[in-house]
A and B are shown apart, each in its own frame.
Chain A
C-alpha cells in the first residue's frame, strides 16, 4: 500500500505542475554554455539546448556521438584511434586544394601527399573517386587532377567544384570529426562531431548497444519513438542537471510523453502540441486566433469543451481537481 501513496490522484493537473516545475527553475538558467572535452566545437547546453529539444528541431545545432567500442578496441589509445580514423569522414577538401579556373574553364585539384597519408587515403583512391564523381574529361598528372567539364557555364563549374569539395573519400558519412576520449572506466571511446546512428550501429568494431547520439530525431528514425522518448528525457534531464536545477524526472518524462505521444516528435508550440489541441477555443486562445476561428467556421467544427482553457473562456467549472467531482444521483 505504501507504493500507492506515490500515485497521482485522479484529476491532478500534472501538465501544469510539470510546466511550472520546469519553467520556474528555467528562469534561472544561464545562457552560459560549456565545452565538450575533445571536440573543438561548442555544443549548446542550457537554455539554447532546451529550446532546441522542445522545438523538436530537425537536427541539433551540433550533433555529437559517443561511440563505445568493442572490448578489444577499447583498451588502448592506439587501437581506438585506428577506429576513429576509420569512422571519420574524409572529404576531398580535407586532402586537396580544389580550385576553379574560370578563364580556362577547368577545375584543378592539387593533392597534399602528407594529408593523404595522415588520413590513410591513397592517391589511387582519390583518382578513382573523382573519376566516378565527374563524368567529364579527367586529366591526371602526379598530384594534380584537372577536370574539364563539357558544359562550360560558369555556374555549372561552381556547382561541380562545390560537389567535388564534399566528395566522400573514406569513413562514415556525416562524421565530421572523431576524437578518442578516455572514459571514466579507463577505457577509450570515440567522440564524434556529426551523427550517423544507422551506419555506426552496423560497424563491426563498435558496441552498438552503448552508442550515444544527441540527435533525438535520428534516434526516432533509427530506433523508434520509444527510444526517442527516452532520449528526450535523458537530454532534458542532462541540461537541467548541468545547471544544478533540481527538477523531478517525472516532469521531464511527462514532457517527453506529450511530445512523442502520437508516434513522431512534436514540438511544443504553435506548430506542434499547442497547435494541435482538440478544442477550437483552446487553440484560438493560444496563438493565431483568427486563423483557427475561420478554419473552424469553414469546417463547421464543434468544441466539446473538454479542456481547461475552453471551460475558463466559457465560464464553467474546469474539469480538473475538485471540478471533476460529480453527483451520480440528482437530489
Chain B
C-alpha cells in the first residue's frame, strides 16, 4: 500500500491523472484512458488474441484497472451480448446441433465468455433472451446455471425458503443410492446401496444432463399429509409396513474389515492361522468356527459379534521367558480380526492380496440388509426430513376410492413455518406424472408451472389441487377432511438406528479411573456432567447424586491407617493388613470414589502428603 501510494503520488505530481493498471493485484503501470484500455483488452480476448482465462475489471471511482490471471478465481460462463443482440446466433446454434462446432470453439469465437467475481461487477446480465436491451452485456446460458450442481437437481427450488434449500442439499449428500456402479468390486470401509432405486418423477434438466438417473438415490413414495394418531408428531413419519415388506427403502450395508501379516523388527512375523489353544489370549473355540485351514473365513458365513473373521497370531511382545527346562518356548499372542458387537451380517466377499509393504493382506466384506425400521431417517428434496415413528401395515393405512394408500404420512405442521411450497408442488407434480405417464419438469425458473400441473390433474378427472377423500382403515368411513396425497421422491439417509443405538447397564470401566468407558464403540456409559450434577444438587436429591457419581461409577473400598492417614494395604500372601508407612494395624475400611484415591496418589506425586482423618459418621 505504502509503496503504491508513493509511486502514485510521484506520478500525480509530475503528470495528469492516469489509470493505474494492476496485474494479479500488483501495480504494473499507468495508462491515459482506462475505459479505452478495458474495451481494447476485452475485444482482444473475444477475438482470441488474449487468453480467455484473463479477466478485466475497471473501477471508475478509483481509476484502477485490474487484470486477473491468477489461479483460484471462481469463474462462470455467459453468452456475450453486443448491442442487445446475443452473439449465439441461430446459425451458430444450428451448427452446434449438427455437431459441427463445440463448446471450445464457442469460447474461441468469443460467443461464450467466462467472468470472475470481479469482472461480473461490471457486467449487466440478462436472465432470459427476451429481456435483452442494448445496455445488457451478457446473457445467462440458462437460469439454472445460477445454481451449483447440488441445487440444480432439486425440483422447484424457487418455491422454497433458502435455508431449506441449503438443508436439502446437505441431506441429498447423505442419501442412499448407487454410489458407484462397480460397488460390488469395491472394498470401501463402509458403503450403503439402495435395493430398488428409482429416478424421480419430477426431474430437472441438469438431473438428466448429469446422468443421475442411472445411479438414482431415492424412490417415489405415495405421501399423504395428515396427522396419524400422534405417531408423526414433531417430524416423525408413519410408514406403510407392507410397502417396506415389498422392498421400499431397503438397502444393504457393506463393511470391510482388513488385517495384514505384519513384520516385526528381528525377523518375526504375524501368521494367519487358526490360533492353537496354547496362544495367550485364546478365545473360546466357538469364535473360530468359520475359519478355514488358512485361518480365513469363507463367504456366506453368517457372522455375529465376537466371531473371528481372520485368525492371526503375533509373536510375543517381550522376549520369551526361560522355562524350567531351560528351553525357550514360543508363546504366541492371539491377534485375530474380530467382529465387534452390532456388526453382525453375512460375509460377502474375501479378498487376499499384498499390502504396500509387501505383506499378506486380507479384506473381508460383511454385508447386512437394512430394512427400514422405527428410527430410520428419510428426507424429501426440500429439506423436509423425518424419522419413522411407526410402521403400520397396509390394512391399517387410510386409502382412497381406488384403494391406493400412502407409503408415508407426514405431519401437516411440517409445512407452514418452513414454507417449503416446492414440497407440495412436487407431490402434485409426481401425482400428475403418475397419471399422464410423462416426467414433470421441475427445473428452477423454467420448469412446469402449477397451472400446467393442475391442467394435467383436471385432464384425468382428478381434484386439481391433489386433495382426496380418504377412508378410515378401522371403520371404513370416509375421513371428514379431504387429504392432500401425492407422489414425491424420498431419500433414505444413512443415519440408521441399527448403526447408532446404544444402551448400557453394566460394562467395561477405564483402567486409570475405574469409571465407565465412553462411547458406543466401547460399550460406554452416558456422561453425567457438571451441569447435570448441579441440577440434582439444586433439586436436593443427595442420594441420587451419590448413586450416579459413586455407586454406579467408581466406588471402591480402601483400607486407611488411622494413625498416619494414608492408604494401607492388605497382604494376601501373609493374609495381613498393615500400613506400609507406619506399620500400624489400626486400620479401617473407608468407602470412597476411586477418582479420589487417584487424586490422593497424584497429590503425593506432587510431594505433598495428604492424610485422611477418620471420624465416625454422626
Contacts and interface: CB of A to CB of B under 8 A. Distances in A.
Contact of B543 (A11, A308, A315, A323): A323
A13 B540 contact: yes
B546 interface: yes
Interface in B528-583: 533-535, 537-543, 545-546, 549-550, 555
B606 A13 contact: no
A326 B609 CA distance: 32
A302 B606 contact: no
Interface in A1-50: 11-13, 16-17, 19-20
A295 to B, nearest CB: 10
Describe B's contact surface by its main secondary structure.
Answer: helix
A11 B540 contact: yes
Contact of B537 (A293, A294, A320): A320
A314 B596 contact: yes
B596 A17 contact: no
A31 B555 CA distance: 45
A22 to B, nearest CB: 13
Interface string A313-331: 1111111111110100000
Contacts of B546: 315-318, 323
Contacts of A317: 542-543, 546
A290 to B, nearest CB: 7
B596 A318 contact: no
B618 A326 contact: yes
Interface string B512-534: 00000000000000000000011
Contacts, number: 71
B335 interface: no
A312 interface: yes
A317 to B, nearest CB: 5
B603 interface: yes
A296 B550 CA distance: 26
A315 B542 contact: no
B593 A315 contact: yes
Contacts of B592: 314-315
Interface residues of B, number: 27
A312 B549 contact: yes
Contacts of B596: 313-315
B393 to A, nearest CB: 45
Contacts of A278: none
A249 interface: no
Nearest to A19: B534
Contact of A297 (B538, B539, B608): B608
B593 A322 contact: no
Interface string B584-618: 00000001110110010001001011000100001
Nearest to B553: A315
A194 to B, nearest CB: 41
A12 B545 CA distance: 15
Contacts of A293: 603, 606, 608
A316 B592 CA distance: 7
B617 to A, nearest CB: 9
Contact of A315 (B533, B534, B540, B550): B550
- Tell which of A11, A13, A315 has the most Cβ of chain B within 10 Å: A315
B516 to A, nearest CB: 15
A11 B534 CA distance: 15
Given A315-B593, A315-B596, A321 B555 contact: no
Nearest to B551: A315
B58 to A, nearest CB: 41
Contact of B539 (A302, A321, A326): A321
Contacts of A294: 606, 608
Nearest to B538: A16
Contact of B606 (A12, A290, A326): A290
- Tell which of B534, B542, B545, B596 has the most Cβ of chain A within 10 Å: B542
A13 B549 CA distance: 18
Contact of A314 (B535, B593, B609, B618): B593
A321 B541 contact: yes
Given A294-B608, A313-B599, A314-B592, A322 B542 contact: yes
A312 B596 CA distance: 9
Interface in A225-267: none
A323 B555 contact: no
Contacts of A12: 540
A326 B617 CA distance: 10
A320 B606 contact: no
A321 B603 contact: no
B542 A323 contact: yes
A322 B541 contact: yes
B152 to A, nearest CB: 39
A13 B330 CA distance: 64
A296 to B, nearest CB: 8
B533 A322 contact: no
Interface string A270-301: 00000000000000000000100110110000
A321 B533 contact: no
Contact of B613 (A302, A312, A318, A324): A302
A308 B542 CA distance: 10
Contacts of A319: 542
B527 to A, nearest CB: 15
A317 B618 CA distance: 13
Contacts of A13: 537-540
A315 B591 contact: yes
A225 B596 CA distance: 40
Contacts of B606: 290, 293-294
Given A293-B606, A315-B592, A321 B549 contact: no
Nearest to B554: A315
Contacts of B535: 20
Nearest to A304: B613
Contacts of B542: 317-324
B600 to A, nearest CB: 10
Contacts of B595: 313, 315
A252 to B, nearest CB: 17
B599 to A, nearest CB: 7
A293 to B, nearest CB: 6
Given A294-B606, A312-B549, A314-B593, 5 more contacts: A13-B537, A313-B593, A314-B596, A319-B542, A321-B542
Interface of B: 533-535, 537-543, 545-546, 549-550, 555, 591-593, 595-596, 599, 603, 606, 608-609, 613, 618
21 contacts: A13-B538, A16-B537, A20-B534, A20-B535, A20-B538, A293-B606, A293-B608, A297-B608, A312-B545, A313-B593, A314-B596, A315-B591, A315-B592, A318-B545, A321-B539, A322-B541, A322-B542, A323-B542, A323-B543, A323-B546, A326-B618
Q: Which 4 A-B pairs have the closest CB atoms?
A: A321-B540, A323-B542, A315-B593, A297-B608
